[in-house]
Amino acid sequence: MVVLLSDGEILKYNQEFLLTLSSSLKKKPLYIRYDPDPIPGLCGMFPLYLSKHAVSNTRWRVLPAQSFNITRFEQEDKPINVNTDVILNHCATNINMGVNVSCWAMGFYGKVCAPLMKTCLDVYGKETPSNIWQIYTPVAS
């Protein structure tokens, strides 16, 4: 199974797309935005915030997670399969999105894990688990 965009097009590795909330698609879409030098007081304690404007800071791309038997260049322009390890990369800054498991904040529904905009690499130059994501489809019951 491959990942589809909202217009029915197949999403491929290294293809730019707008990351948005699915609940806002019926109204005016809200895009996930990252500014490397934010205006103080605009985005609060998290580096990501929602924007109604589709600008360059709302563009993302999916990169394949590096493995020992295949390179990123061999995966370029191939469709993204669900349930595989991927890297979410910000197009304007070339920084990866991750999760900071050591930073928790109190949200409306309890503790919330903070997003992290940092390319975390190990000693071999591979992304650490805090930068690896999986796109999945829920199993219908």
Average pLDDT score over residue span 2-13: 75
What range defines the domain where residue 48 resides? Answer: 16-134
Residue 106 lies in a domain: yes
Number of domains in the chain: 1
Calpha distance 5→11 (Å, rounded): 6
Residue 7 lies in a domain: no
pLDDT tens for each residue of 102-121: 777 777 888 887 788 888 88
Residue 44 lies in a domain: yes
Identify the band that residue 140 occupies on the pLDDT scale cut at 50, 70 and 90: low
Its pTM stands at: 0.81
Look at 121 and 141; give whichever has higher pLDDT.
Answer: 121
DSSP one-letter string for 95-127? -BEEEEEEEEEEETTEEEEEEEE---B-TTSPB
Q: What is the DSSP letter of 131?
A: G
Residue 57 lies in a domain: yes
Residue 140 lies in a domain: no
